[in-house]
Structure 1
Amino acid sequence: MFERRKNGETIPSLAKAFNVQESNIKYLIALIKKHGYNILRENKNRAYSKDFKLQTINRILINHESINSVAIDIGLTSSGILDNWLSKFKENGYNVVENKKGRKPKSMTKLKKNDKVLSEQDKIKQLEEENLYLKAENEYFKKIESSSSRKEAKREEKVKIIAELRAKYPFKTLLKIAGISKSVYYYYIGKKDIDEKNKDIIEKIKEIYYANKGRYGYRRVTLELKNQGFNINHKKVQRLMKKFNLQSIIRKKRKYSSYKGRIGKIADNHIKRNFEATAPNQKWFTDVTEFNLRGEKLYLSPILDAYGRYIVSYDISRSANLEQINHMLNLAFKENENYENLIFHSDQGWQYQHYSYQEKLKEKKITQSMSRKGNSLDNGLMECFFGLLKLEMFYEQEEKYKTLEELKEAIEDYIYYYNNKRIKEKLKGLTPASYRSQSLLVS
């Protein structure tokens, strides 16, 4: 089939010849093209670990990669396999389901042809059991040492470890090693599963985490839970998120700077790192940041209002030029509001020193403010926003954007999400848009 496709035969023709759906033909061709013919044989006996499945599922739920592209990338013979992983993952409360491989042992009755054969089999079985016992004992005591600083572990700890190891070792063996009876084990299991009562909370935490593409840490998840009517302590949320490995993404720093020396008038610093505002349109901040996608670049120029950290307007361009800045200003001023008491802060980038930019601000009676040279913290609000933006939708995710157009759409989607969906602890669990709207309604 692959060779016939290479020779120019169409997909519909191949689908008809092999009596297979066109989508399956396309999938197999893409799979073989990436991995070669051997992938079809290798997959027959291939096993996948729990961690591997979880990483793969996160590529779809958090990074929003397509099922087909991920399935091809990891070499699955069918995207249906990955679809099945996802279904079971969600059905099992956002937990990976592991299939136990191997056949059930055959009845020993067939071996009872003579006592000599049975005796040899018994010896082998005895050695295997002893070996398994030693492995179980070793792993059990390692867990005891790591879970308890005391010489004598509590029964609850022993029960918890037995419950963890039951999938690997015989139940009776574990009870013997721990030195507790079956009735004691079931008493403590029935008495209290520490997180059984938190089942609904755990499901809601996972739902919030995945809905926000892994961008929320425990503090913001706690706020969202409270917004939805759950009264819960942030320490409990932190513990549960750690238990289920729901970690927010690690921040990186931006590197782009638009400073090109003194080419125009440098304004005074009127902000002086006082980033708070009591109403909208008192303090605005702007800057330009660069997105480098495999050598191709996009530039984002937004305006951020200090009140609620709301993005007033923005422009995305392939070139960091004056036209981009003018377009951003025109979008911000389209409401024809009074900006007489507004302070507009930026760094000393060449765009903000330009005569035409400064004249536009004067026309609106806006006070221009600039950071001191080499003091990036003077424009700290924009630094924080750019760091957050790239952390949550760009860093370590570049591969999912095939073109600059896809990246541009993702930036636009994120800014909408940031303004309208992403709650902030400082705003008492509101989004920037909701917080801003409240003030405008009151005024």
Structure 2
Amino acid sequence: MYSREDKQRAIELFYQYHQSWSAVVRKLGYPSLGALRQWIRDYELDANSMLVDIPRKRKPKYSDEQRQAALNHFFEHGQFITKTVKAMGYPSRQLLREWLLQDPRCDDSLRGRTVVAKLAAPADIKVKAVEALYKREVPARKIAEDFGISRETLYSWKRDVLGVSFPTKQTSDSSEEVKSLDVTPEVSELQARIKELELQNDILHQVNALLKKDLGIDHLNLTNREKVQVIDALRDKYSLNILLQSLQLSKSSYFYQCNAIAKGDKYEAVRPRLRAIFKQNYESYGYRRMKMELADEGILLSEKVIRRLMAEEGLEIAIKRCRKYSSYAGEITPAVPNILDRNFQAGEPNQKLVTDITEFSIPAGKVYLSPLIDCFDGQITSWTVGSSPTAELVNTMLSNAAETFASNEHPIVHSDRGAHYRWPGWITLMNELGLTRSMSKKASTPDNAQAESFFGHLKTEFFYNRSWLGKTIDDFTQELNQYIEWYNTKRRKKVLGGISPQEYRQSKAS
């Protein structure tokens, strides 16, 4: 039963935490999510009546028929309380006495031997019983029988004498600490506080040692699995109930996590395959393309699971930004119109092509790449690699690409306003091949977004996340060529349905 103040505090936190149910329960440690929802509904219907303490009527454990059957058996079989309880299997002897006192057949003589005055146990008896419980030389049930009380009463005495947080089991290093339990309430409270601080200190050190977290972290913010690890490490020193209470973990959650840990990792066989796929694909695959790759191998996992497994394995795509290479050298020749006008959609191959130059700076020197990209599927139709951005670099790329064109194919070739695409040699070659020129506006990167997108993927997946120390320019060129081949034939593109550009082109041709 929660008081009006408890309910009011929970409702205030609910609106303070932007109507987050779980945040309120984590903060206060009460109530259940269902109870909190009911409080909020009642509060919104009638705030005044909801915050009034109304005693909750408890549903009786036994029905009226069961009660009458037990009373009839008592009066019909010699009026023995113990025998009636054994014969019926219910209720407790105390509850049967209460039923008898309310029955009209109970006369004065029966009432006199039914009512038993329960005398309060002397303080010295309580102290001796709790001392025996603390030393734990025999089981708690045996201690309770020796003192003529129930096991529940014994633990109730322990709470009265020592407090809730004081351990009920003597540890190896505490035999000299408690010589006598006949202490004043102030001393008992101080001892309980000391034990509580020791427990909190032990928990923080276990969090640091086991989970590698900072000593200043709030142990209540740990996950349930992390809390179980801390509890198991301290079970030899503290009782389970004390640890569960300190970490605000329910017993059912504790045993659920224990069973889950005992079952092991059901994704153990998938983890090595995740690492292999990530490494084979230039450490560039996120969880979406990783899901496609696993699905082709018959491994069906949700994106949420793959994202979590990649985070646990440290499979993170490195992102880095560097200064963009610019080939602009002024208005050498008149610029041509922007025919594409940012429309990079093509209905067939060799209809719209885009090009640009990008620079790689490695310890061995600088390397330049000039690709020709087909807007139909993003495939790199032709590319050249060199150690300097010369006119020969781009002209050779265009000549190689022209060899793959059919006689009736005269695509649009779009570029930025770099000097390579405004020199007479490039213009002459374009006219000889019957190709149409198109140019971006000055200092307008989005006008050539198709090429910029490829360079972004190229630098992120191939260049930035690797060390090029000890690599020669020839070594780098060879690995760059291998990446572009992989990009064309194997790299999955979500916009193409999760297949590579080459596979997409083959599927459309068939």
TM-score normalised by L of structure 2: 0.54
The separation in 2 between residues aligned to 1:352 and 1:137, in whole angstroms, is 68
After superposition, the Cα gap between the structure-2 partners of 1:358 and 1:171, relative to the gap in structure 1 and judged at 3 Å, is: farther
Q: Which has the higher contact order (CA 8 A, sep 6+)?
A: 1
**2:203 aligns to what?**
137
Is contact 1:254-1:387 (8 Å) kept? no
**1:310, distance to aligned residue in structure 2 (A):** 0.5
- 1:78-97 equivalent positions in 2, closer than 5 A: none
**1:278 aligns to what?**
347
The separation in 2 between residues aligned to 1:339 and 1:172, in whole angstroms, is 84
Instruction: From 209, 225, 243, give the equivalent of 2:294.
Output: 225
The separation in 2 between residues aligned to 1:271 and 1:396, in whole angstroms, is 33
Which AA in structure 1 matches 2:203?
E
Is contact 1:223-1:425 (8 Å) kept? no
Is contact 1:287-1:302 (8 Å) kept? yes
Which AA in structure 1 matches 2:229?
A
2:383 aligned with 1:314:
yes
Which AA in structure 2 matches 1:384?
S
The separation in 2 between residues aligned to 1:338 and 1:196, in whole angstroms, is 60
Instruction: From 257, 261, 274, give the equivalent of 2:326.
Output: 257
2:502 aligned with 1:438:
no
**1:381 aligns to what?**
450
**1:415, distance to aligned residue in structure 2 (A):** 0.8
- 1:211-250 equivalent positions in 2, closer than 5 A: 211-250=280-319
The separation in 1 between residues aligned to 2:268 and 2:313, in whole angstroms, is 12
The separation in 2 between residues aligned to 1:193 and 1:409, in whole angstroms, is 49
Q: Secondary structure at the match of 2:464?
A: coil
Is contact 1:289-1:301 (8 Å) kept? yes
**1:360 aligns to what?**
429
**1:364, distance to aligned residue in structure 2 (A):** 2.6
**1:161, distance to aligned residue in structure 2 (A):** 2.5
The separation in 2 between residues aligned to 1:243 and 1:397, in whole angstroms, is 21
Name which of structure 1's ranges 240-249 and 279-288 shifts more when overlaid on structure 2. 240-249
**2:116 aligns to what?**
none
After superposition, the Cα gap between the structure-2 partners of 1:435 and 1:364, relative to the gap in structure 1 and judged at 3 Å, is: same
Which AA in structure 2 matches 1:346?
S
The separation in 1 between residues aligned to 2:289 and 2:468, in whole angstroms, is 27
**1:415 aligns to what?**
484
**1:290, distance to aligned residue in structure 2 (A):** 0.9
Instruction: From 471, 477, 480, give the equivalent of 1:402.
Output: 471
Cα distance per residue 1:181-229 (max 9 Å; x no partner):
9998555422577983334444433332222232111122122223333
Is contact 1:284-1:343 (8 Å) kept? yes
Q: Secondary structure at the match of 1:197?
A: coil
The separation in 1 between residues aligned to 2:325 and 2:352, in whole angstroms, is 23
After superposition, the Cα gap between the structure-2 partners of 1:231 and 1:398, relative to the gap in structure 1 and judged at 3 Å, is: closer
The separation in 1 between residues aligned to 2:334 and 2:201, in whole angstroms, is 75
After superposition, the Cα gap between the structure-2 partners of 1:207 and 1:397, relative to the gap in structure 1 and judged at 3 Å, is: closer
- 1:267-346 equivalent positions in 2, closer than 5 A: 267-294=336-363, 296-338=365-407, 340-346=409-415
Paired residues in the alignment total 308
**2:21 aligns to what?**
none
Instruction: From 149, 154, 172, give the equivalent of 2:236.
Output: 172
Is contact 2:412-2:437 (8 Å) kept? yes
Is contact 2:360-2:367 (8 Å) kept? yes
Is contact 2:244-2:251 (8 Å) kept? no
- 1:46-57 equivalent positions in 2, closer than 5 A: none
Is contact 1:288-1:302 (8 Å) kept? yes
Is contact 2:203-2:230 (8 Å) kept? no
Q: Secondary structure at the match of 2:342?
A: coil
The separation in 1 between residues aligned to 2:264 and 2:227, in whole angstroms, is 15
The separation in 2 between residues aligned to 1:283 and 1:378, in whole angstroms, is 14
**1:414, distance to aligned residue in structure 2 (A):** 1.1
**1:16 aligns to what?**
none
Cα distance per residue 1:252-300 (max 9 Å; x no partner):
2441011101112311111111112121111111111111123721111
Is contact 1:254-1:386 (8 Å) kept? no
Q: Secondary structure at the match of 1:426?
A: helix
**1:135, distance to aligned residue in structure 2 (A):** 4.6
Is contact 2:346-2:352 (8 Å) kept? yes
After superposition, the Cα gap between the structure-2 partners of 1:240 and 1:123, relative to the gap in structure 1 and judged at 3 Å, is: closer
Cα distance per residue 1:14-46 (max 9 Å; x no partner):
xxxxxxxxxxxxxxxxxxxxxxxxxxxxxxxxx
Instruction: From 202, 216, 221, give the equivalent of 1:146.
Output: 221
The separation in 2 between residues aligned to 1:422 and 1:372, in whole angstroms, is 31
2:284 aligned with 1:209:
no
Is contact 1:251-1:387 (8 Å) kept? no
**1:369, distance to aligned residue in structure 2 (A):** 0.6
The separation in 2 between residues aligned to 1:220 and 1:340, in whole angstroms, is 34
Kindly report the root-mean-square deviation, in angstroms, between the aligned alpha carbons of the 2 structures.
3.4
Instruction: From 200, 222, 227, give the equivalent of 1:161.
Output: 227
The separation in 1 between residues aligned to 2:361 and 2:198, in whole angstroms, is 54
Is contact 2:363-2:469 (8 Å) kept? no
Query: Please, which runs of 5 or more residues in structure 2 have no aligned partner?
Result: 1-171, 178-195, 208-216
Query: Please, which runs of 5 or more residues in structure 1 have no aligned partner?
Result: 1-121, 149-156
Cα distance per residue 1:292-350 (max 9 Å; x no partner):
12372111111111121101111111111111112111221223523644111000111
- Bigger Rg over Cα: 2
Q: Secondary structure at the match of 1:196?
A: coil
